[in-house]
């Protein structure tokens, strides 16, 4: 809608194609890739940049949410969460700053969460992964500023997505009502987060780097 040409990536090519069909414009590109193959990310992004030209913006919105109480937490579960939510983002940023992969004045947005800023039972490792994104983002933003690349995080609260619906199905009506009550402006929608991301990617955010934009319907104001 903002006249950008978008490269869509994810593991499910069929769903990517379905998304592209719903988008305005005809030059958008689908690139099927599994970000858990973190070592392969730099070479993969380099190939795309060679084929399409340098990229102006990058959004890392891949992530998994698992409620795992400490009493049943295992090393493998902790590593899976950290690898998907944090390591893939780190390697994408490393890849994006390669020569000829991005342009001066480009922007990176990482999807954190209000879980990085507030405490809730059973999501300690998820919260840690999202808080780590904020810490990584601050330091990386300072490193990339000299290269003309901005890096910021967006921290949404509960948003009506498929992942959130999966979580809702595990809750009692009373538990979900309690979550709704924590959002003075109501549950968010994907466009609310997309608007914040677009603001940071575009020239509207040209003087913003190393920070976290909280988009939470008032969740953390209480």
For the annotated catalytic residues, the residue numbers are 126
CA distance 112 to 18: 26
- The burial of 80, by beta-carbon neighbours within 10 Å (0-12 exposed, 13-18 middle, 19 or more buried), is given as middle
**What number of other Cβ atoms are within 10 A of residue 214's Cβ?**
21
E strand segments, the chain: 7-10, 29-32, 55-60, 102-111, 150-156, 212-215
Q: Which has the closest alpha carbon to 197: 186, 189, 205?
A: 205
CA 80 to chain centre: 16
**What does DSSP assign to residue 188?**
B
Q: What does the block give as tokens for 184?
A: 């003075």
């Amino acid at each position: 809608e903002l006249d950008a040409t978008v490269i869509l990536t994810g593991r499910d090519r069929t769903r990517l194609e379905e998304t592209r069909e719903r988008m305005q414009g005809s030059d958008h590109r689908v690139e099927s890739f599994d970000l858990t193959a973190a070592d392969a990310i730099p070479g993969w992004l380099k190939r795309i940049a060679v084929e399409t030209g340098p990229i102006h913006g990058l959004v890392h919105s891949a992530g998994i949410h698992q409620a795992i109480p400490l009493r049943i937490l295992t090393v493998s579960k902790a590593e899976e969460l950290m690898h998907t939510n944090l390591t893939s983002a780190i390697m994408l940023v490393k890849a994006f700053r390669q020569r000829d992969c991005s342009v001066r004045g480009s922007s990176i947005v990482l999807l954190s969460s209000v879980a990085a800023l507030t405490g809730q039972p059973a999501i300690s490792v998820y919260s840690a992964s999202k808080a780590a994104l904020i810490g990584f983002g601050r330091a990386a933003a300072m490193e990339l500023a000299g290269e003309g690349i901005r890096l910021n995080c967006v921290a949404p609260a509960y948003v009506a997505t498929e992942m959130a619906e999966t979580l809702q199905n595990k809750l009692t009506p009373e538990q979900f009502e309690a979550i709704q009550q924590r959002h003075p402006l109501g549950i968010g929608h994907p466009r609310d987060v997309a608007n914040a991301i677009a603001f940071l990617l575009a020239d509207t955010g040209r003087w913003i780097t190393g920070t976290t934009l909280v988009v939470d319907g008032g969740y953390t104001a209480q």
